[in-house]
Amino acid sequence: MKFQAVLESLRYPIWQAPTASLAGPELAAAVSKAGGMGSMALTWTPPDIAAELVRQVREATANPFFVNFALAFPPVSLDAALEVGVLIVTFSWGDPEPHLPKVKAAGAFVGIQVTNIPGVKRAIDQGADFLICQGVEAGGHVQSSTPLLQLLPRVIEAAGKVPVIAAGGMSSGADIAKVLALGAKGAILGTRFLATQESRAHPEYKRQLVEAQGATALTVCFDGAWPYSAHRVLRNSTLETWEAHGCPKVGNRPGEGETIAQTADGEAIFRYEDTAPKQGYVGDIEAMCLYSGTGVAAITDIPPAGELVERLWQECSAALAPG
Ligand SMILES: Cc1cc2nc3c(=O)[nH]c(=O)nc-3n(C[C@H](O)[C@H](O)[C@H](O)COP(=O)(O)O)c2cc1C
């Protein structure tokens, strides 16, 4: 099978971004069932759990979905994911070269996130089946430094026949229409799908996304496993206090070392940790790392993900309709 056949099998060119452990099998399955492309990030998931999560999506739907590994970390569950037969693997943040032979040998399709033209050329030489073009508007850790609508046409041109899927800052069907009109074969939305019923984001985090008036920051305020890598978040009390103190370095930050919340298992979350709040966490959720893309202002509700996919496509079709 060619990757083109996978693209054609989707009812809608609407993809749900891998958003760490906030997008679990419920969300991936709901999006894929609705005719979009669901996903799960497996970077930080142990192999046995990763295999189980993939099985759960499979049981819920026969439609395609993908799994992602951010290569700033070793892809410890890649073998497990391939063994259970994932159809599509995407890589971001790092060089996929050492991992490609086994992915190809397993018969899976490979998507590589790109953020500049040399990256496109390298990904194509490496045999990418498709590219993900991320713009600087994206929520979460941001690999890109260029606005999406500037970068996308150049990436599409350099990619030639290799399909390009666009990511970053999109929350509405009109946003999706713009990237499709430029030649993207799909649009990946992360933040918008965090504010759905199936996402594992904490209810207070979802509420913050709905109520935010678009104020995000690209910063290095939050860290932990991934120090000094830029990420886009909602402006919150931790960020604003840190900025008011002149953005001091690690070791000199106001309130550093304070426990501000706990996971469902009772593990402490410290101020400035890059962990996003999930269901079951307790404490000062507002002060935690609330990843968000620039499209957040357009998020006004928390619908079921399948309903959202349908709505986005209706809006997109209306925006693409002539006249
Ligand atoms: C909470 C959160 C976690 C993310 N985790 C990952 C990840 O594990 N791997 C990855 O490649 N991208 C990750 N991203 C980036 C998304 O894949 C995507 O590029 C981004 O969400 C698109 O921008 P948007 O949020 O404005 O839609 C994450 C984004 C968010 C908001």
Closest by alpha carbon to 86, among 130, 112, 123, 56? Answer: 56
Of 15, 19, 91, 188, the one to substitute when testing ligand 1's pocket (max ligand atoms within 8 A of C-beta) is 19
Ligand 1 atom with the smallest distance to the CA of 292 is 31
Give the chain's domains with CATH numbers: 3-198+304-320 (3.20.20.70), 203-296 (no CATH)
Count CA atoms closer than 13 A to 159's CA, side-chain side. Answer: 30
Residue having the nearest C-alpha atom to atom 21 of ligand 1: 190
Ligand 1 atom with the smallest distance to the CA of 132 is 19
CA distance 185 to 178: 11
Taking the centre of ligand 1 as the mean of its atom positions, its distance from the CA of residue 22, in whole angstroms, is 10
- Residue 224 scores a pLDDT above 80: yes
- Residue 225 scores a pLDDT above 90: no
Q: Return the pLDDT at 280.
A: 97
- Residue 214 scores a pLDDT above 90: no
DSSP-assigned letters across all residues of 177-244: HHHHHTT-SEEEESHHHHSSTTS-B-HHHHHHHHH--S-EEEES--BSSSTT--EEEE--HHHHHHHH
Residue having the nearest C-alpha atom to atom 30 of ligand 1: 140
Closest by alpha carbon to 180, among 158, 144, 156, 159? Answer: 156
pLDDT range class, residue 213, cuts 50, 70, 90: confident
Taking the centre of ligand 1 as the mean of its atom positions, its distance from the CA of residue 119, in whole angstroms, is 19
CA distance 296 to 191: 7
As a whole number, mean pLDDT of residues 243-272 equals 96
Output the pTM of the full model.
Answer: 0.97
As a whole number, mean pLDDT of residues 119-131 equals 98
Residue 33: phi and psi, rounded to 5, are -60, -35
Of 90, 141, 274, the one to substitute when testing ligand 1's pocket (max ligand atoms within 8 A of C-beta) is 141
Taking the centre of ligand 1 as the mean of its atom positions, its distance from the CA of residue 181, in whole angstroms, is 23
Q: Return the pLDDT at 313.
A: 98
Ligand 1 atom with the smallest distance to the CA of 113 is 11
- Residue 277 scores a pLDDT above 80: yes
Q: Which residues sit with their C-beta closer than 6 Å to ligand 1?
A: 17-20, 22, 41, 43, 68, 70, 92, 134, 137-140, 167-170, 188-192, 276, 291, 293, 295
Q: What digits encode the pLDDT tens for the residues 147-177?
A: 999 999 999 999 999 999 999 999 999 999 9
Taking the centre of ligand 1 as the mean of its atom positions, its distance from the CA of residue 18, in whole angstroms, is 6
- Residue 316 scores a pLDDT above 90: yes
Taking the centre of ligand 1 as the mean of its atom positions, its distance from the CA of residue 312, in whole angstroms, is 19
CA distance 152 to 140: 19
Vertex 137: Cα angle to 132 and 140 (nearest 5): 75
Taking the centre of ligand 1 as the mean of its atom positions, its distance from the CA of residue 134, in whole angstroms, is 9
- Contact yes or no for 151/164 (Cβ under 8 A): no
Taking the centre of ligand 1 as the mean of its atom positions, its distance from the CA of residue 250, in whole angstroms, is 24
Assigned token pair, 195: 């504010």
